[in-house]
Structure 1
Amino acid sequence: MSEQQGNQLPQWKPSPVEHIKINSDYLRGTLVDSLADELTGSISPDDTQVIKFHGSYQQTDRDLDAERKKQRLEPLYSFMIRARVPAGISTPDQWLVFDRLADQYGSGTLKLTTRQAFQWHGILKRDLKKTIQGIHSTLMDTIAACGDVNRNVMATSNEGLSPMVPEVAAFAKTISDHLLPRTSAYHEIWLDKQLLAGGEKDEEPIYGKTYLPRKFKIALAIPPYNDTDVFTNDIGLIAIGEGDRLVGFNVAVGGGMGMTFGMESTYPRLADVIGYVSKGDALKLVEEIVKIQRDYGNRENRKLSRFKYTLDRLGTEEFKQLLEQRSGIRLESTRAYQFTQNGDVFGWKQGLHQRWFLGLFVEHGRVKDVGSYRLKTALRELARIKVCDFRLTGNQGLVLGKIEEADKVKVEKILTQYGVWPHDGLSGLRKNAIACVALNTCTLAFAEAERYLPTLIGKIEQILSENDLTNDDILIRMTGCPNGCGRPFLGEIGLVGRALGRYNLYLGAGFSGERLNTLYKEMLDEEGILQELSELIPRYAEERTPGERFGDFVIRKGIVASKPEVKNIG
């Protein structure tokens, strides 16, 4: 791209959401009036867009929508609230408050998300401010957890996996803080803070008045563990060390999972690696990438407004030239790295200073008590005695961190008492499963995911058991729609909801998150899914080569065509 071309910004006809942002007075909208309206459990249509920037989505209980409509009642409106938790690390005191808020104002459960954030579901409008104030009392917040801004910044949180984790996690927080919106609207609306006398007009030095065209995601990963699915992010930073010391990052750009059925111009995409940057220049480079998306992203059609489409429109090589020109940073050649997996590591790992870290399986990130499995109670007890911190993973799991040698027995005793530990009997498929929330609260879902996948896995496990594959790790991911919150296009087995009880089946992703899967069959019901897998799984057991992963097998056998793997142009 020539300098003249690079400086020629596109002209868009602003979408309705762009107009809402323009007229929102830096994310204030009419939220104060909407929250005060006691005649409805909802907020105004424009405010449903504005409130996303404050970390919340308006939802309804879709299980009850038809019955309430029949009774001429408005839908049962509630709100999901999401906290911003860079690198997913929280303290025992924070955990106790979050646990209490779930019981006091929410559905009674905590949701650990695929972006290492906390979510509360079922918050009524009258309780929104009290819940957000409760979160803020822990020195955490919800601003920029949703909306057309940089979202929660992910990073490997298990210090037992690498001595670089503390520094990488700290840099994730630095990025998150640096890219926060500067508007004071959040503090005014939720924390009752008043502007100073003669309050100056808000300014957004990075985002401008209209913020970004769409959401923006950043993740950091430390090889050989790609536990943040770094290539699915708008920016992926791959940590490069010399010995135990972090020296810089390989930079990947343009990842994103979402697509729209029937719209071929939309697609999932893995990020391209464009080169290496020293840790001292990394923050400036990240900011400039965000600004390029601000200036060049599509503001007319939100289905085409993610950074991956901006990158493909510009061309990766041309984008790299533009980035170097605008930032003044010349990217070096990509440094050598290798990923071996993108799932969680369970069990005990020792980190720095002889402290221990315990990776726990949390099915689809839902912290709850069910029968003899009392996860929520166990974690509350651990938080009360302050023997560990709590570290969310990018796969809806949890790491109990910074445990002293003398406290290991105490931790195991509590987890065992409440049926949480050990993880004996969990299949390799179940341990590597991800599901989005989907029904009954997500407004975009066509089909079930979190509520259904555990049952489906139980039926697939029967097929695995018959073929002596119970303990083999296989990545399975299910979402209720193609927006990709559960990163279904990186499942060796991916299931994407098309209609109630019907899914598209995708096969063949790479085990380390460096190759997308491929559509295999459409509109399958449960019987159809099980029929297909009952034919494929025995073949895998019989015909695989030593150590061959399921995703690699279906490609080698020509069952599906291979998708291109992560490109390195650096």
Structure 2
Amino acid sequence: MTKIKDIPQLQEWKPSEVEIIKTNSNYLRGTLIEGLEDVITGAISADDTQLIKFHGSYQQTDRDLDDERKQQKLEPLYSFMIRARVPAGVSTSEQWIALDDLSDKYGNSTMKLTTRQAFQLHGIIKRNLRQTMQGINDSLLDSIAACGDVNRNVMSTSNEGLSPVVGELADFAKAISDHLLPKTTAYHEIWLNKQLLTKEQKDEEPIYGKTYLPRKFKIAIAVPPYNDTDVFANDIGLIAIVKDDVLLGYNVAVGGGMGKTYGMEETYPRLADVIGFVSKDKALTVIEEIVKVQRDFGNRENRKLARLKYTIDRIGVDAFVSVLEQRLGFELDASKPYEFKSNGDVLGWKKATNGKWFLSLYVEHGRIKDTESYKLKEGLKKVAELHACDFRLTGNQGLVLGNISEKDKKRVQKVLDEYGIGDGSQFTGLRKHAIACVALNTCTMAFAEAERYLPQLIDKLDDILEKYGLSNDDILIRMTGCPNGCGRPFLGEIGLVGRSLGKYNLYLGAGFSGNRLNTLYKEMVDEKQILDLLEPLFKQYSEERNKDEKFGDFVIRKGIISPAKEISVVK
């Protein structure tokens, strides 16, 4: 058995710049109050741009205008994104209305449904940050720990029409989120104008400590056969084990993460390892101890190597489990049988065992907005004003209208019909399974387009699919503007990862259920090359596939791409 004292710690290493910022921040306060009051600039200080993430916000610029403003000798057009924390993606109709109103009053009149089941509001200028934060808080949501080196929004399967335990899982997701929230009162002081501490009181972080985690931390829950939260892409993935419609507990997977850095071979996407089973009454204890192991042994010198996946690979899975179990005081049980079949959303109406209806809707890349021809945002607000349902975000940037009674079902459908809002079943299998991150023009990390461009690329790919009779085949395509992995591109059967403007790395061969990463196929390809490369593969797939064979499995079987690591399951 590996002893805790035998694990190499990193205390003798030089802490990174961000670690120093956190240490000196007085529990995430920094100089945020002073920066918000500085009217000379639309920005905040460099140190505070790190700290504001813990409060759920990122400073951004409109990169479309950067060159023009530079020529005019103006500072960049700074604005802020705010991410509202929504455990399991479940929000009320009142909260939907509140966020819709805030997006119009202070933002760019759109809402983004993220791949972590959270809301994002974009385009908020500095002088409106406090009012927006307060508006979110008034709706009984918040943005605490939606970003930063802490546990972020906890995901869970949100459609109760798929399993009778989904409601219980959502409750547990909220319990995890609440348990792992930072305890500092800085958020309430800075954004809500509440002076909570006296001179005699001091902030404490019993789980995180003064410097919080070495890097962001992500947790997701899924109930087989639906892996719609991509559990293996998370630091902790909880696979619900259900027998006779009763939740027994969870298989625990650790060490997933999508991000990598170009030019650094020591960085890579990784799928989580299943390390055992825990009963539901002990699950929260196991989660807390995993977080603490990462707190104590994670890399605090190089942030690019600071995620839990690198900690596990550095010390080894067996050693990690040994240390975890020593801290727990008990051993995990052997993992239980389970099987995932897909990681997309199941669109359309589903009736739950409690008699309530749930409608899963496709939302193109999670962007809630109005255009001249499609009033999606207005229509969904009209649905919310019926107060006949709740609003549940999915891990695929979709939306579930939930808890609809039999008598209200027709009312909801009538409004949707009036606005031409369908469930998305009319689209091709490729479009229904597409995910794109925000990328340009606001993300500071993006090298290339994603959300603004992928719909146009899919238009052209759909023409090819129709040519070979593949329009109705479900194929996972993911596009991101950089390799940080916000849209989980390395789990796409077709993955496109931005390298420069108009250029992408093309990946192929991920598992349809999220149990296998894809593999690099071609580097630095433009649109014409993407189409030219994929068309013969689609043609071959249409002619040579086995019955029910998925595209990712096909390209591996035919030797077109070498298989990456696959998570084995016990069926």
TM-score by structure 2 length? 0.98
1:66-465 counterparts in 2 under 5 A?
66-423=67-424, 425-465=426-466
Please report how far the alpha carbon of residue 138 of structure 1 lies from its aligned counterpart in structure 2 after TM superposition: 1.0
Pair 297,539 (structure 1): closer, same or farther in 2 beyond 3 Å: same
Q: Are the aligned partners of 2:96 and 2:391 in contact in 1 as well (CA < 8 Å)? A: yes
Q: Are the aligned partners of 1:272 and 1:568 in contact in 2 as well (CA < 8 Å)? A: no
Quote the residue 2:501 is aligned against.
500
Q: Are the aligned partners of 1:87 and 1:173 in contact in 2 as well (CA < 8 Å)? A: yes
Q: Are the aligned partners of 1:493 and 1:508 in contact in 2 as well (CA < 8 Å)? A: yes
Distance 2:225 2:459 in 1: 30
Distance 2:100 2:254 in 1: 36
Q: Are the aligned partners of 1:449 and 1:479 in contact in 2 as well (CA < 8 Å)? A: yes
1:517 aligns with 2:512: no
Q: Are the aligned partners of 1:271 and 1:567 in contact in 2 as well (CA < 8 Å)? A: no
SS of the equivalent of 1:211 reads coil
Distance 1:567 1:314 in 2: 22
Please report how far the alpha carbon of residue 9 of structure 1 lies from its aligned counterpart in structure 2 after TM superposition: 2.8
Distance 2:568 2:240 in 1: 17
Please report how far the alpha carbon of residue 199 of structure 1 lies from its aligned counterpart in structure 2 after TM superposition: 4.2
Deviations 1:55-76 (A, max 9, x none): 0000000000000000000000
Distance 1:541 1:414 in 2: 39
Distance 1:5 1:565 in 2: 32
SS of the equivalent of 1:496 reads strand
Gaps spanning 5+ residues in structure 1: where?
Answer: none
| 216-225 or 320-329, which deviates more | 320-329
Give aligned pairs, total. 569
Q: Are the aligned partners of 2:4 and 2:323 in contact in 1 as well (CA < 8 Å)? A: no
The aligned amino acid for 1:293 is Q
Please report how far the alpha carbon of residue 188 of structure 1 lies from its aligned counterpart in structure 2 after TM superposition: 0.3
The aligned amino acid for 1:461 is D
Please report how far the alpha carbon of residue 438 of structure 1 lies from its aligned counterpart in structure 2 after TM superposition: 0.1
SS of the equivalent of 1:247 reads strand
SS of the equivalent of 2:155 reads coil
Pair 118,422 (structure 1): closer, same or farther in 2 beyond 3 Å: closer
SS of the equivalent of 2:282 reads helix
Pair 341,66 (structure 1): closer, same or farther in 2 beyond 3 Å: same
Please report how far the alpha carbon of residue 242 of structure 1 lies from its aligned counterpart in structure 2 after TM superposition: 2.0
1:469-508 counterparts in 2 under 5 A?
469-508=470-509
The aligned amino acid for 1:560 is I
Q: Are the aligned partners of 1:348 and 1:359 in contact in 2 as well (CA < 8 Å)? A: yes
Q: Are the aligned partners of 2:447 and 2:500 in contact in 1 as well (CA < 8 Å)? A: yes
The aligned amino acid for 1:193 is K
1:557 aligns with 2:547: no
Please report how far the alpha carbon of residue 411 of structure 1 lies from its aligned counterpart in structure 2 after TM superposition: 1.4
Distance 1:486 1:345 in 2: 19
SS of the equivalent of 1:280 reads coil
Distance 2:92 2:39 in 1: 36
Please report how far the alpha carbon of residue 371 of structure 1 lies from its aligned counterpart in structure 2 after TM superposition: 2.6
Distance 2:348 2:59 in 1: 37
Distance 1:552 1:469 in 2: 16
Q: Are the aligned partners of 1:372 and 1:419 in contact in 2 as well (CA < 8 Å)? A: no
Pair 408,4 (structure 1): closer, same or farther in 2 beyond 3 Å: closer
| 461-470 or 192-201, which deviates more | 192-201
SS of the equivalent of 1:285 reads helix
Pair 75,135 (structure 1): closer, same or farther in 2 beyond 3 Å: same
Distance 1:23 1:567 in 2: 44
The aligned amino acid for 2:247 is L
Please report how far the alpha carbon of residue 5 of structure 1 lies from its aligned counterpart in structure 2 after TM superposition: 3.6
Q: Are the aligned partners of 1:273 and 1:568 in contact in 2 as well (CA < 8 Å)? A: no
SS of the equivalent of 2:40 reads coil
The aligned amino acid for 1:445 is A
Please report how far the alpha carbon of residue 420 of structure 1 lies from its aligned counterpart in structure 2 after TM superposition: 0.9
The aligned amino acid for 1:341 is S
SS of the equivalent of 2:289 reads helix
Distance 2:10 2:435 in 1: 38
Quote the residue 1:36 is aligned against.
37
Please report how far the alpha carbon of residue 407 of structure 1 lies from its aligned counterpart in structure 2 after TM superposition: 1.6
Quote the residue 1:467 is aligned against.
468
Distance 2:226 2:98 in 1: 31
Quote the residue 1:22 is aligned against.
23
Distance 1:193 1:329 in 2: 42
Quote the residue 1:3 is aligned against.
3
SS of the equivalent of 2:448 reads coil
SS of the equivalent of 1:402 reads strand
| 193-202 or 13-22, which deviates more | 193-202
Please report how far the alpha carbon of residue 8 of structure 1 lies from its aligned counterpart in structure 2 after TM superposition: 5.2
1:535-546 counterparts in 2 under 5 A?
535-546=536-547
1:44-55 counterparts in 2 under 5 A?
44-55=45-56
The aligned amino acid for 2:400 is V
Distance 1:7 1:527 in 2: 50
TM-score by structure 1 length? 0.99
Q: Are the aligned partners of 2:183 and 2:204 in contact in 1 as well (CA < 8 Å)? A: yes
The aligned amino acid for 2:464 is I
Gaps spanning 5+ residues in structure 2: where?
Answer: none
Please report how far the alpha carbon of residue 419 of structure 1 lies from its aligned counterpart in structure 2 after TM superposition: 1.4
Deviations 1:36-67 (A, max 9, x none): 00000000000000000000000000000000
Please report how far the alpha carbon of residue 245 of structure 1 lies from its aligned counterpart in structure 2 after TM superposition: 1.2
Q: Are the aligned partners of 1:288 and 1:323 in contact in 2 as well (CA < 8 Å)? A: yes
Pair 336,375 (structure 1): closer, same or farther in 2 beyond 3 Å: same
Please report how far the alpha carbon of residue 372 of structure 1 lies from its aligned counterpart in structure 2 after TM superposition: 2.7
SS of the equivalent of 2:385 reads helix
SS of the equivalent of 2:73 reads coil
Please report how far the alpha carbon of residue 534 of structure 1 lies from its aligned counterpart in structure 2 after TM superposition: 1.2
SS of the equivalent of 1:21 reads helix
Q: Are the aligned partners of 1:56 and 1:82 in contact in 2 as well (CA < 8 Å)? A: yes
Pair 243,84 (structure 1): closer, same or farther in 2 beyond 3 Å: same
Distance 1:178 1:101 in 2: 28
Distance 1:57 1:187 in 2: 18
| 504-513 or 371-380, which deviates more | 371-380
Give the RMSD, CA atoms, in angstroms.
1.1
Distance 2:262 2:374 in 1: 38
